[in-house]
Each structure stands twice: as structure tokens, then as C-alpha cells.
Amino acid sequence: MSQFFSIHPENPQPRLIKQAVEIIRKGGLVVYPTDSCYALGCCLDNKDALERIRRIRQLDDKHHFTLACRDLSELGTYARVDNQQFRRLKAATPGSYTFILLATKEVPRRVWHPKKQTIGLRVPDHPVALALLEEMGSPMLSSTLLLPGEDYPLTDAWEIRERLEHDVELVIEGGYCGMEPTTVVDLSSDAPEILRQGKGSAAVFGL
């Protein structure tokens, strides 16, 4: 059965953040709050947890996984970013955006898009998510908690635990996050392209 932590959405308790990160580092798959909706997260090098996310969400190998990063400097380690892309990223982070960028060799091939060699990256604007990433000191492999057959992500942490208690090691309750996923912006080519309109406004990209 999964553990359940209630972490304050504005002032996360350091003790609980440390305990949560310890679970993640030991191979745990966790549900955590973000600025758009709840998400599944694990260590970047955790192959087993990656396969569990695929199974929970019934994803194929063409799905773009996301690396949740604590800041832009970390994002730049895992994606190839030129000056123009950096300016666009700076204008929209932290925030409810996922950016599709060319992956660097720091990203395991198994999470690349198989044909495009791209990866999704984001800097969430949520105190709990940022506290987790700061304590980890590295990105977290992440995916929106949208279950098969559902039109919207789950929003209630107690319901999430009830439905996934045998599939994840920890559910972090961090208040209501909403049910609108991130806006997905493809920055891997010359002009930005909105692949999915979500919570983040496209206006920041002039679209």
C-alpha cells in the first residue's frame, strides 16, 4: 500500500520533502502536485518506474515524457538550447508549459522520442514540486496523471491513493491543482508550435 503525505501547498514541510525524496531515490514512483495538475514522478534513471508509468497510463513508445527541472540552468543540461530558445524559455518559466526540445546525451535514450530524439522539459511553478526538485538536486521524470479512459486528470489525492495504492509508493497531497494539463510547445525547430493548448497562455510566444 502506498504512503500518503499531506504537504502544505505554499510552505512545504522540509521533513516531509526529505522523506519523499528518499522514497524517490530508493526507486519509488510518486504522485505529486504541480501548477497544472497532479503528476507521476520518479528518478530519471529508474527504468522500472518508467515502465510502471507506461503501464499505469497505457502509453506507447511515441509518448513524450517530461523532465521536471528546478530551473533553466538545469534544463539546459538535458536539452540543446540556443539563444533564441533560451529567451523564449525564460519568458515562460516557471509556469504551466512543457517544452519539446532536442535531448542531450544526459537523457537516457529510452525516454527520447524514438524518431525525433526529443524530450519534454518543464519548470513547474508549484512550491511542493520545486521543493522536491531542489532537494533531489536533479530532474524528475514526470507524466501527467491521466488514467486510461479518463478525459481529465485526477484531482483528489485521496481518490488517487485509492485507485493507485498498489501501483505507486507515495501519494503527496498538496491541495487542489486543477485539471488542466500544461500547454505543450515544440521548440525543436525554428518557429515555436503549440502541440497542445493547456493552462499556459500561448500569447507569451506570440501565438
What's the pLDDT score for residue 184? 94
Q: Over the range 82-96, which residues count as b (16 or more CB within 10 Å of their CB) and which as e?
A: eeebeebbeebbbbb
What's the pLDDT score for residue 75? 84
Assess contact for 183 and 196: CB atoms under 8 A: yes
Give me the CATH topology for the region 3-205.
DHBP synthase (3.90.870)
* pLDDT surpassing 90 at residue 5: yes
Runs of H (alpha helix) within 31-94: 47-57, 72-78, 83-92
* pLDDT surpassing 80 at residue 73: yes
- The pLDDT-based confidence of 76 (bands split at 50, 70, 90) is confident
**Cα angle vertex 82, ends 79, 83, to 5°?**
135
What's the pLDDT score for residue 207? 74
* pLDDT surpassing 80 at residue 172: yes
Q: Could you give the CA distance from residue 31 to residue 98 in angstroms, rounded to a whole number? A: 18
Helices then strands, each counted (H, E), the chain: 6, 10
Domain boundaries, the chain: 3-205
Which amino acid would we find at residue 115?
K
- The pLDDT-based confidence of 189 (bands split at 50, 70, 90) is confident
pLDDT in tens, 36-68: 999 999 999 999 999 999 999 999 877 888 999
The pTM (predicted TM-score) of the whole model is 0.94
Q: What is the mean pLDDT of residues 72-96?
A: 91
What's the pLDDT score for residue 174? 96
